[in-house]
């Protein structure tokens, strides 16, 4: 798989875990279970394709806990939450040029977000990852929104609202959780290969992952620029954000190709928001 961005703003979705990577992510050996028709239907409701999806047991390297997730490409959803319908999305189609989000956003009381760049022995961010994280946070804090990120570096991940760490796997990219229960997604995993990427590319990938963690989905969700299954059709699981271009069909003239949330990256990115990323973020928050 080509490099897949991790989080950002133009196409918008929330409530699941996503990843952006150069190489396919496999945190643990997939459990060879076929998805039931009910689970497939709930994935479509969440705007995520069940094609080639797997059920995997994934261990959090920071606290040692293991949970089951349904993984589809660069998107990951907690199995128990999916079974309970936690990711069911609303639909708004009014014929105007807009962007996409889901219903799982951050509630007003949780928009000051303590974000930790992890520096512990198992999963420490490299110096370039740390720089990319700092630059990404600065970008978010410059936006005129109600989100306020307070960045620290250390090991007290239990106290943080959002944790960015090196998951020790090869390749470039990462994974992130979408918001849940009115709070931001907590854990953002960065692949170890990002240590050799530039500061700007680290800024881009980490900023993209943070975007997913605050509730955005890929700008090109209807057909990924880098290939891969449709993440959900235009009429399923996408709520348009006013003032942003439509990406209902790949190749449509309205697609914001400079968005931080495009599903792939090629190593030339500057890590900055597009104008429509900013419009989308300020509209939602």
Q: Give a yes or no: residue 10 inside a domain.
A: no
Q: Is residue 9 part of a domain?
A: no
DSSP string, 81-125: HHHTTTT----B--SS-B--B-S----GGG-EEEEEEE-STTTPP
264 in a domain, yes or no? Answer: yes
- CATH number of residue 260's parent domain: 3.40.390.10
DSSP 3-state of 44? helix
Task: Find out whether 12 and 241 touch, Cβ atoms under 8 Å.
Answer: yes
Q: For 30-84, what is each residue's pLDDT tens digit?
A: 333 578 888 888 877 766 667 778 888 888 888 888 888 887 766 677 888 888 8
Work out the end-to-end distance of the chain between its first and last CA atoms, rounded to an integer number of angstroms: 33
- In sequence order, what are the residues at sequence separation of 6 or more whose Cβ sits closer than 8 angstroms to the Cβ of residue 242? 96, 98, 283
- The total of structural domains in the chain comes to 1
225-270: pLDDT as tens digits: 555 544 543 333 344 455 555 544 333 445 677 788 887 788 888 8
Domain span at residue 51 reads: 17-284
Per the domain annotation, does 211 fall within a domain?
A: yes
Q: Is residue 218 part of a domain?
A: yes
**Any domain includes 37:** yes
* pTM of full prediction above 0.85: no
Distance (Å, whole) CA 17 – CA 217: 10
Q: Among all chains, which residue has been given the structure tokens 């689970």?
A: 39
- Nearest CA to 155 out of 146, 168, 165 is that of 165
């Amino acid at each position: 798989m080509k490099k897949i961005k991790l989080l950002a703003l133009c196409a918008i979705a929330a409530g699941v875990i996503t990843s952006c990577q150069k190489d396919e992510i496999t945190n643990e050996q997939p459990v060879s279970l076929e998805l039931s028709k009910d689970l497939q239907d709930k994935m479509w409701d969440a705007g995520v394709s069940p094609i080639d999806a797997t059920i995997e047991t994934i261990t959090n390297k920071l606290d040692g806990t293991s949970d089951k997730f349904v993984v589809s490409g660069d998107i990951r959803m907690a199995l128990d939450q999916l079974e309970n319908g936690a990711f069911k999305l609303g639909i708004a189609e009014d014929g105007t040029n807009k962007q996409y989000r889901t219903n799982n956003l951050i509630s007003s009381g949780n928009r000051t977000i303590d974000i930790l760049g992890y520096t512990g022995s198992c999963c420490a961010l490299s110096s370039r990852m740390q720089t990319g994280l700092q630059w990404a946070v600065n970008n978010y804090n410059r936006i005129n929104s109600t989100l306020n990120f307070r960045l620290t570096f250390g090991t007290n991940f239990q106290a943080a609202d959002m944790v960015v760490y090196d998951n020790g796997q090869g390749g470039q990219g990462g994974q992130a959780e979408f918001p849940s229960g009115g709070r931001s997604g907590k854990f953002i995993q960065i692949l170890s290969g990002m240590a050799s990427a530039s500061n700007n590319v680290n800024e881009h990938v980490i900023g993209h992952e943070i975007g997913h963690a605050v509730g955005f989905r890929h700008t090109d969700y209807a057909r990924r620029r880098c290939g891969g299954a449709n993440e959900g059709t235009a009429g399923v699981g996408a709520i348009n954000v006013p003032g942003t271009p439509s990406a209902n069909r790949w190749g449509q003239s309205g697609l914001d190709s400079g968005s931080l949330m495009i599903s792939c990256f090629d190593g030339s990115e500057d890590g900055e928001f597009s104008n429509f990323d900013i419009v989308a973020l300020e509209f939602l928050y």
